[in-house]
Structure 1
Amino acid sequence: MVSKGRVFGGCVCSIVAMGAAAVGLSLMFPVIFAEASLSKNILVDWLMWSRSSDVTQNPLQHSLHVVEGEINSGGGHGMDGCQQQLKVYVYSFPRRFNFGMLNYTQVDLDMPWLDGEVPPPWPSDGFILEKQHNVEYWMMMDLLEDKFGDREVIRVHNPKQADLFFVPFFSSLCFYRFGLSMDPESEDKALQEEMVKLILESPHWKRSGGEDHIIPLHHPNAFRFGRHLLNASIFIVADFGRTFPQVSSLQKDVVAPYTHIIPTYDDDNPDDPFNSREMLLFFQGTLKRKDYGIVRTKLASIIQNQSGVHFEEGSTNETGLRQATVGMRNSKFCLDPAGDTPSSCRLFDAIVSHCVPVIISDKIELPFEDELDYTTFALFYSVEESLQPGWLLSQLRNVSQVQWLQMWNRLKEVSHHFEYQFPSKQNDAVNMIWKQLHKKVPAIKLKFHRKERQKIADWWNW
């Protein structure tokens, strides 16, 4: 006697098959389901499951999927009810809101990006500062990829099929291109106002109040004129340093990593990793910062010129990046103090350099923290304790070789989660962001479905 258990469209069915009775039962079940007017999802799931002649065989090897109410054989990515991928609809915005800012196209900038067009690569020259906040670019590139495979997200062209809606506005790049002067009448502001108007007039926005819309604004100054008008949406942020709780929060938004500037250390396999990194602590960057970043100048006065410490002003030109690359790869620990906001690109440069991050930022928020335990590969110290003379270096020198090697090995294991690339790969940065977004869908749908059937004002405090 063999027992099989299987979930069908949310219902758990257990079948005990004994001899020839199993054959009759397998033939009867689709009829029973149909006569009972059960959903097509249950029927399809049963049909797929029943094709397996052995409990250890993959029941999806001859998969079926439902497209527009029809049962077809195929790849399974269209399965209604068995769908595991996040379905995202992309607005057709003029390309001046996105790829047109890269100056790669001579086509009318008022035209939307067309299906079949090859997206432009990120420029290899210049665009250094812009690169660290180009999350919006990688997300849109991934959505335009038509290959299904093992992906977390698929683009849908029918908005009725969408779990979420992607707003293709490169807000961080727009700030770099047109908003650095902080002129209140800049083209940056004009584009933001036009984008807000387009979104607020959309029936998809009106239907949900924008709670199922994704808007990347990774630079702390990105979309600064319009974010309060669309604050029901899911923002893709670096941190919450320049937002207010009524605009942005962990509950609705997604913290995404910076795109690292330092190249990934792919061949980091020395015989003696601990002793081959001769420098104890490395920092190279801008020393004088605003707001949170004041801690940098205070740290400089305490640890600069100390034995085993490299703490210097740096630059983002080719020479500065080359020096930082060598320095991080030659150091056991990399200092990551707060910048103008609680986070900085330096953390992710350290991760891909396998240099154990020393994070001194009391209000930092970290990407993917529901899946990654940063304490296994980074050290965290408060600003107050770090500014005690001699305290920080004493802590680092007391980290044993065994402890450091554990963190170094863990950095090598997790660094792929912070890689932006095209095509995206399983559990890379883009894929991880989609996973974070996917987790928000059930709560959004719960709220929307309740709202649709309510006859009176909501009585529950969300």
Structure 2
Amino acid sequence: METSVRVLCNSNIAGGFKIQKDVSLPVTYVRSAEDLLKDLGGNPPSARPVLAFFAGGIHGYLRPILLQHWSEKEPDMKIFGPMPRDPEGKAKYRELMKSSKYCICARGYEVHTPRVVESIHYECVPVIISDNYVPPFFEVLDWESFSVFVLEKDVRDLRNILLSIPEEKYMKMQRRLKIVQQYFLWHKNPVKYDLFHMILHSIWYNRVFQVKSE
């Protein structure tokens, strides 16, 4: 294990994930096996009236704090627990992601969450609240150019943090998000630079780094 490149969803530095050796595996949902790109994309920035959106299971220590401070507190903060998983509930979930400027990616029991990739799919700037989390493809992607990182201890100040981001900076992040989206897509037959190739690139990159280090 010491010399192996581990590919982990739970890319937690505090849990033993080693940067420049291990690989962070994106957590993704496949909505439709027949149409892997179904519902891809979202509303333009001018049609995103919601400042921030989150919905999900309330597990781990952080999510109860998120709901305590922001559920039903501000009209532009759509912060919920689990939404219904019937077709209508899933459609509402997608529409909220497509209509929000920022999508909250708060850790649960573990540091990873599928909302990171979901946010990218729906062109909603990810707000990652997960200390010690190493995002996928960090070797080649500048995550701070298309997402926001908030410390877990600062969740109580979440709205002020988001409102303090200038509109021009948000627009740049949203544009860059649409550019990197191609790296997080599955295809039935792999396409150059898609998720399949990016995972293999991360493994190759870290293996080469190991060899050079040795």
TM above 0.5: yes
Alignment partners' CA distance in 1, 2:212 and 2:142: 29
**Distance change >3 Å, CA 317–CA 237, structure 1 → 2:** farther
Letter in 2 for 1:385: D
- Shift in Å, 1:398: 2.8
Tell whether the 8 Å contact from 1:274 to 1:401 is kept in structure 2 after alignment: no
Q: Which position in structure 2 is the counterpart of 1:167?
A: none
Alignment partners' CA distance in 2, 1:254 and 1:274: 32
Tell whether the 8 Å contact from 1:352 to 1:415 is kept in structure 2 after alignment: yes
1:409-428 paired onto structure 2 within 5 Å: 409-428=175-194
Matched, 1:408 2:182: no
**Distance change >3 Å, CA 370–CA 320, structure 1 → 2:** same
- Shift in Å, 1:380: 0.8
- Shift in Å, 1:265: 4.9
Q: Which position in structure 1 is the counterpart of 2:121?
A: 352
Tell whether the 8 Å contact from 1:333 to 1:358 is kept in structure 2 after alignment: yes
Tell whether the 8 Å contact from 1:259 to 1:420 is kept in structure 2 after alignment: no
SS class of match (1:234): coil
Alignment partners' CA distance in 2, 1:406 and 1:378: 10
Q: Which has the higher contact order (CA 8 A, sep 6+)?
A: 2
Q: Which residue of 197, 200, 203 maps to 1:437?
A: 203
**Distance change >3 Å, CA 401–CA 265, structure 1 → 2:** farther
Letter in 2 for 1:406: K
Matched, 1:296 2:63: yes
Tell whether the 8 Å contact from 1:279 to 1:332 is kept in structure 2 after alignment: yes
1:69-80 paired onto structure 2 within 5 Å: none
Root-mean-square deviation (CA, aligned residues, Å) is 2.5
The TM-score with structure 2 as length reference comes to: 0.85
SS class of match (2:102): strand
Letter in 2 for 1:238: C
Letter in 2 for 1:303: W
Q: Which position in structure 2 is the counterpart of 1:35?
A: none
Tell whether the 8 Å contact from 2:23 to 2:206 is kept in structure 1 after alignment: no
Matched, 1:376 2:145: yes
Tell whether the 8 Å contact from 1:352 to 1:411 is kept in structure 2 after alignment: no
Tell whether the 8 Å contact from 1:274 to 1:404 is kept in structure 2 after alignment: no
Q: Which residue of 57, 63, 66 maps to 1:286?
A: 57
Task: Tell me which structure has the larger Cα radius of gyration.
Answer: 1
Q: Which residue of 61, 66, 79 maps to 1:311?
A: 79
Letter in 2 for 1:342: V
Tell whether the 8 Å contact from 2:105 to 2:113 is kept in structure 1 after alignment: yes
Alignment partners' CA distance in 2, 1:244 and 1:303: 29
Percent identity for Structure 1 against Structure 2: 24
Alignment partners' CA distance in 1, 2:120 and 2:41: 14
**Distance change >3 Å, CA 254–CA 276, structure 1 → 2:** same
Alignment partners' CA distance in 1, 2:163 and 2:212: 51
Tell whether the 8 Å contact from 1:264 to 1:353 is kept in structure 2 after alignment: no
Alignment partners' CA distance in 1, 2:77 and 2:114: 20
Tell whether the 8 Å contact from 2:125 to 2:146 is kept in structure 1 after alignment: yes
Tell whether the 8 Å contact from 2:13 to 2:132 is kept in structure 1 after alignment: no
Give unpaired runs (5+ residues) of structure 2. 32-36
SS class of match (2:61): helix
**Distance change >3 Å, CA 243–CA 442, structure 1 → 2:** same
Matched, 1:343 2:112: yes
Letter in 2 for 1:254: V
Q: Which position in structure 2 is the counterpart of 1:250?
A: 19
Matched, 1:275 2:46: yes
**Distance change >3 Å, CA 231–CA 317, structure 1 → 2:** farther
Tell whether the 8 Å contact from 2:24 to 2:134 is kept in structure 1 after alignment: yes
Tell whether the 8 Å contact from 2:67 to 2:81 is kept in structure 1 after alignment: no
Aligned residue-pair number: 207
Alignment partners' CA distance in 1, 2:135 and 2:211: 26
Tell whether the 8 Å contact from 1:314 to 1:320 is kept in structure 2 after alignment: no
Alignment partners' CA distance in 1, 2:53 and 2:194: 26
Alignment partners' CA distance in 2, 1:242 and 1:350: 23
